[in-house]
Amino acid sequence: MGIYTVLDNKEVDDHVNKDLQHIVERIRQVSSAREIILGGGFGRGEGSVIIEQNEIRPVNDYDLFVIVPDDDNNDFRSLGKIIAPEIKIRLLDIIPVKDSVLSTLPSTQFYYDMKYGGRHLWGENLLETVPMYKEGHIDHDAGRTILINRLICAIEAFSEDFESRSILEEEEFFLINQTGKVVSSCIEAQLIFKNKYHHSIRERQKIFESLFPGKERLIKLNRRATEFKLRPSRSPGFDGVVYWKEAISEYIKVMSDCLAPGFMSPVRRLWRKLKKKNGKNKITNTDVERVELMLLLYREAPSLIKKDILFKAKNELENVSKTSIENDGWENLRKTTTDLWHSFYH
């Protein structure tokens, strides 16, 4: 194994090292950071890279935690957008954490992963001051959060056009990569609710299979997601569109069981809750996420309620975007919603 990936390849490690050194230097130019920590897949040695024509390219974004004094109010989101093209990656998430709160950080997935899956890059070793969390135990609300956060991954990479034309290699690669994140969220959420969470995707796979041996379809999908995450390929050996459809079906089942338990079908359970926007019946955090979920439910819904779901999604999207939408087809609503999400949140 390498340092940042499962690949035993010094050139990959050197490439990632060079990227990280550049990021650290750029952060230090503008910030009074006390420590910089590498999180995400690369932090825990499970990063995704693809090697093509002797060129090494990270597939997913880099996630960095920056421990800063309370008076450091830099706009790290904007800084990430500036640095990302400098090292030719899609996204760079730079997350500031105030040093005054390190010893009292709650047991969220975010901080659990930082504590146990983070890699010290520069500065003081302040990770030691973060509380020792009980193994496998994190705030159960994180299960809900990870499921909802992956809605954008579910809709941004799939196009209805794929069902009527040959999908391009780059499109299928992105589709499979984003679908894997959706599948992984299903595993993470269920382990969180069982107090069996682990920061490593390989360990999560083992734990899930031992706890839920009857969920054969989801186990198969997760094996595929894990393998592609660790060793991404332009020739995956399976149909990306079929993979997406199977994953979305399982994703909706898991969301229904976790967020809207009951005896109705998964689609109807979520649809019933989505129609009740306020109070305890609220599922998503934002109106954009509500539309994203409606668009996914439309794909799985019986014909009797498809029209209602799409009509509601259009109205919701018009309210959020403050514009009139003439083309109310699913594909146009999907594109509009994706663009809106990126303009609001990234």
Give per-residue pLDDT as tens, 92-136.
999 999 999 999 999 999 999 999 999 999 999 999 999 999 999
| Residue ranges per structural domain of the chain | 10-129, 141-345
Per-residue model confidence as pLDDT tens digits over 218-249: 999 999 999 999 999 999 999 999 999 999 99
**pTM score, whole prediction:** 0.93
Q: 50: buried, middle or exposed (CB in 10 Å: 19+, 13-18, 0-12)?
A: middle
Per-residue pLDDT band for 14 (boundaries 50, 70, 90) equals very high
Per-residue model confidence as pLDDT tens digits over 168-180: 999 999 999 999 9
Confidence check: pLDDT of 281 > 80 = no
Q: Which fold has domain 10-129?
A: Beta Polymerase; domain 2 (3.30.460)
